[in-house]
Structure 1
Amino acid sequence: MTVDVYRLHAQVTAWLQASRIHVQDAMRQPLDVATKSNRNDLVTNVDQQNQIFLAEQIQTAYPNAHIEGEEGTADKINRLDGLVFFVDPIDGTMNFVKQRAHFAIMIGVYEDGQPVYGAIMDVMQNAIVAGGPELPARVNDVLLPALPDLALADGLIGVNGPMHAHNRLHIADIALASSGARMSGSAGMEFMEIAQNRQLGYISFLKPWDVAAGMAIVSGQGVVVTRPDGGPIDLLNAGLVVAATPKAHQEILTWMQTN
């Protein structure tokens, strides 16, 4: 790995803190809200401004890196060679607009397709969960304890709402087999819960910028993150993601592969 992960962590932490101040300042003014693919797929002026700011910081610090971001101001990558930053400037935009809470900012860093580092900020709680293969997981730089390998029945599972409603791939059955289902509306918030041992897994349809940061963090904690068929996540395309403790992950895949 060519990146100094501790230096990277310090840089990303500073960028996220600056972004948090901007977001909270912007929340005092009326938001400019538009729709993208459908009425529930929102984007705001804050998403776009945050994307631009973070891209500028990354380009200054790592001029040879590629950037994949949700709001279209970054590269459209078609390969994972070299250093790639995945940026979600506001994850959980519906929550941001409707609740003014329960949303995150995420940055995931990969080198030649392998995870290097992830950071997720709960903006309203001023909490940053960060980590990676060579940086032990932490919240606001307090190291997190090792995660127990819980079976499905022993913990909560985060799920995709529509998939749960229609029992697609047995999601409702999986939820019933767990201690309970949770739906936060933000992939970042779900991965923060996993990292802090508040739930054992998460299942949802995610874009690369939705999963990159969280996968870098929790895979370093021993969480298994795959497609429903057990294959690796494709960071160039959207797809269904199953993230869970090893025991629960195997149980979930068994359910999902049942006709």
Structure 2
Amino acid sequence: METQQMNWSALKDEAVSFVKTAATRIVDVERESLHIDTKEDADDLVTDKDIEIQRLMTDQIRKFYPTHRIVGEEGDHDDVHNDDTITWIIDPIDGTTNFVHQSMNYCVSVGIYQRGIGYVGIVYDVKSEEWFTAVRGLGAYMNGKRLPKRASVPFEQAILGFNARWLVGKADESLKQGFQTIVRDVRAVRSYGSAALESAYVAAGRLDGYMSLRLSPWDFAAAKVLLEETGCECVKVDGSPISIEDQSTYLAAVPNVSQEFLSRLQS
């Protein structure tokens, strides 16, 4: 299917309806008992509800768009390829640890791509009922209100999303030193426990940057569209372009904050 033949706004609206169905089910299952497993990292949780919600979304997509590719976090999915096939990249519950322990700060994340380019991004905070949506070239919105392009923020006034574990055990020593400098130089650091939400917060102006040393495509695919539509950068922590095909390091930030972040990390 050629790009010019797809009505991306209409597809976004359809995707929103799928997310609404998923979110309704998530609210219902919060009251049910959870079967909790871990992934390769013992602190990376997955529940039977993550898997159930992904299957629900996958069934909806395949019913209406049988030729589209689906890539999801919880197994039973296709691989990402930068080709003509329209690809849905979904995380049914981003922030599973929050879902399990706090019942807040988790979201449904859907990015729709073709040829490696993001055309639709949806991040829905289920508990706060906040919708972050974007269509390539048509702007980004929060609950229907258009988000402005992000303005520069002095680095010493920046608020960063940052997991403190990168300071103590999950990064090499040179990176830790750079992170310590960055943490000292900015105004404040926050950690919400959901990469998609924290990236959406950068687009919305609640954070000025967010960094992770290990994210998969479903963690950032939707938010990347939001970031691009609000003039933010989305790169690897060495400053190189980020690929939707692979797990990688990740920095989402206002452009000048991104530059200051990278210069301190690389010095």
Q: Specify the TM-score bucket, using the shorter chain as the normaliser.
A: over 0.9
Cα deviation digits, residues 148-182 of structure 1 (max 9, x gap):
12232222011132113356261222122111111
Structure 2 residue runs of 5 or longer lacking an equivalent are: 170-174
User: 2:252·2:258 contact (CA, 8 Å) conserved in 1?
Assistant: yes
SS in 2 for 1:135: coil
Q: Name whichever of 58-67 and 88-97 sits farther off.
A: 58-67
State the distance in 2 between where 1:4 and 1:210 align: 25
- 2:172 maps to none
- Which of 120, 132, 135 is residue 132 of structure 1 equivalent to? 135
Cα deviation digits, residues 39-79 of structure 1 (max 9, x gap):
211111110011111112222232222111100021133x2
- Which of 152, 161, 168 is residue 176 of structure 2 equivalent to? 168
Matched ranges for 1:1-259 at <5 A? 1-2=3-4, 3-77=6-80, 79-82=81-84, 83-165=86-168, 168=176, 170-204=178-212, 205-258=214-267
Q: CA RMSD in A?
A: 1.5
What residue identity is the alignment partner of 2:224?
M
State the distance in 2 between where 1:152 and 1:213 align: 26
Please report the TM-score for the alignment, with normalisation by the length of structure 2: 0.91
What residue identity is the alignment partner of 1:191?
S
**Displacement of 1:108:** 0.7
User: 2:200·2:226 contact (CA, 8 Å) conserved in 1?
Assistant: no
State the distance in 1 between where 2:154 and 2:236 align: 19
Cα deviation digits, residues 179-224 of structure 1 (max 9, x gap):
1111111102202211211111100021110011111111111101
Structure 1 residue runs of 5 or longer lacking an equivalent are: none
- Structure 1 stretches of at least 4 aligned residues deviating more than 4 Å after TM superposition: none
User: 2:136·2:229 contact (CA, 8 Å) conserved in 1?
Assistant: yes
User: 1:224·1:249 contact (CA, 8 Å) conserved in 2?
Assistant: yes
